[in-house]
Amino acid sequence: MTTREPLREPRQERSRTTRRKLIGAVVQCLAERGWQGTTVAEVAERAGVSRGAAQHHFPTREDLVVAAVEHLGDEQIAELRARAAALPAGPSRALPVAEMLLDLYAGETFRAALHLWVAASTDAGLRDVLLPLQARVGREAHRVAVELLGADESRPGVRETVQATLDLARGLGLANLLTDDTPRRRQIARQWATLLEPTVTATARPGAGVPGT
Amino acid sequence: MTTREPLREPRQERSRTTRRKLIGAVVQCLAERGWQGTTVAEVAERAGVSRGAAQHHFPTREDLVVAAVEHLGDEQIAELRARAAALPAGPSRALPVAEMLLDLYAGETFRAALHLWVAASTDAGLRDVLLPLQARVGREAHRVAVELLGADESRPGVRETVQATLDLARGLGLANLLTDDTPRRRQIARQWATLLEPTVTATARPGAGVPGT
């Protein structure tokens, strides 16, 4: 016992570092080689971790994927919240919020996720792994979008407008897959901000449209 | 010459039938097995065509894909136009048009295309084949959306709103990949129709918002 105790902390730390490395490597591997080219051995090599250590943490590539999707979903939402917190309040906020939300799926994380989703459409095992994750990550994204937009979902149509914003963001992520679609996405975000404002944030402007109030 | 002439018509017909069968089979094969599982031999077998005949028409699987994407893009647009032509004119048209456009990518064709697009993100050869097709099919979809919505693109923001409609439709196609997302898509279409109307079709209501005209 006495010889093991002092090792405990560093071992846990080492373990966390290994997990982090493996999760980073699986995303890179999925984005570059797809689900077909993603094996625990390949991911271990990219992470600079022994195959045995990798399999200790993640016995199958499905386990790796669950950890990666959860970790990245959380990370993305946290980053979004942090960036949004730095924005000024008021109407000048609408455009940067629209841009942030529509950029949500324009990067490597979405590219990796897309490989998984498409592979899952022809692989029932992977599909069963991904469906509950999709639901959880989707709910979190919805929650943060409501928060950033200051949306009042008790008003009719607002919930669907927030959902449409995220579905639009995923469609734009797809359009960014083979080419850099950023300039077009920026123009759509500008228009989206003007479409969103009266629907989503109407309660923020009491009396708007009622002359004399 | 005299022995070949009488054969000409049936041979051309047979050739068209073979192409049609192969194109149908490649889409089914992509949707079920992905790009990885799609070979000329596999497609020929599904189509009930000899491998030699298949290779005569389409030497590589990339050739098959170009023909399939073009054919299906055209077919989809033609079907959309026909369905839209059957709709009544006037404001009652907004909802069915929104539903039609947002359903555009909810089927097997989009599932097959998605396999190709994702495979192309890690396959430079396929990417070079798909990029010009993506541009052409995208332009056609935009043109038909403008037509169905009765959109006046000379007004600011209208072009981006039409683009957003199609990007949203693609995002909804993605959401329909692993589960049947139809009920949620219907609710979004309902809200989308109300968001679209003032922006896209404002010129169809002359004097709207200007009291006394």
What is the nearest CA distance from A11 to chain B, expressed in angstroms?
37
In this prediction, residues B39-61 reach a mean pLDDT of 93
Q: CA-to-CA distance for A187 and B103, rounded, in angstroms? A: 24
Does any domain span residue A191? yes
Using a CB-CB distance cutoff of 8 angstroms, which residues of chain B are in contact with residue A127?
A: 178
Residue A212 in any domain: the answer is no
Tell me which chain A residues have a C-beta less than 8 angstroms from the C-beta of B115. Answer: 118, 121-122
| Number of domains comprising chain B | 1
**For residue B31, how far is the Cα from the chain centroid?**
14
Query: Taking residues B135-139, what's their average pLDDT?
Result: 89
> Which range scores top for mean pLDDT: B85-99, B128-142, B195-209?
B128-142
- Selecting from B37, B120, B191 the residue whose C-beta is nearest the C-beta of A164 gives B191
**pLDDT at position A203:** 47
Tell me the chain A residues in contact with residue B161 when contact means C-beta distances shorter than 8 Å.
191, 195
Flag whether A40 is in a domain: no
* A164–B188 C-beta distance less than 8 A: yes
How many A/B residue pairs have CB atoms within 8 Å?
123
Q: Hey, which of A4-18, A72-86, A125-139, B69-83 has the most confident mean pLDDT?
A: A125-139
- Give a yes or no: residue B212 inside a domain: no
Residue of A nearest to B130 (CA): A178
pLDDT in tens, B85-101: 888 777 678 889 999 99
Nearest to B98 by CA among B197, B163, B167, B189: B189
Judging contacts by C-beta atoms under 8 Å, the chain B residues touching residue A194 are 157
Q: How far B114 CA lies from chain A's nearest CA (Å)? A: 7
pLDDT digits (tens, 9 = 90+) for B138-175: 998 999 999 888 899 999 999 999 999 999 999 999 99
Q: What is the DSSP letter of A207?
A: T
Q: Is the pLDDT of residue B210 over 50?
A: no
**pLDDT for residue A7 is more than 80:** no
Residue in A122, A161, A195 closest to B34 by CB: A122
**Distance separating alpha carbons of residues A80 and B180, to the nearest angstrom:** 29
Is residue B82 in a domain?
yes
ipTM rounded to 2 decimals: 0.83
CB contact under 8 A, B111 and A117: no
> How would residue A125 be classed by pLDDT, with cut points 50, 70 and 90?
confident
Residue A158 has pLDDT above 90, yes or no: yes
Nearest of B75, B81, B79, B84 to residue B137 by alpha carbon: B75
In a domain, B194, yes or no: yes
What integer pLDDT is reported at residue A68 of this predicted model? 87
Q: What residues in B contact A169, CB-CB < 8 Å? A: 171
Mean pLDDT of B72-84: 83
Domain residues for the domain of B73 are 61-203
Chain B's closest residue to A200, CA to CA, is B195
CB-based contacts of A184, cutoff 8 Å, min separation 6:
A175, B163
A66 inside domain: yes
pLDDT of the residue at B5 = 54
Three-state secondary-structure class, residue B171 = helix
Contact A121, B177 (CB under 8 A): yes
Flag the least confident range among A116-125, B40-49, B149-158: A116-125
Chain B contact set for A182 (CB, 8 A): none
Q: Which residue of B has its CA nearest to A175?
A: B167
Structural domain includes residue A140: yes
Cβ contact, residue pair B160, A190, below 8 Å: yes
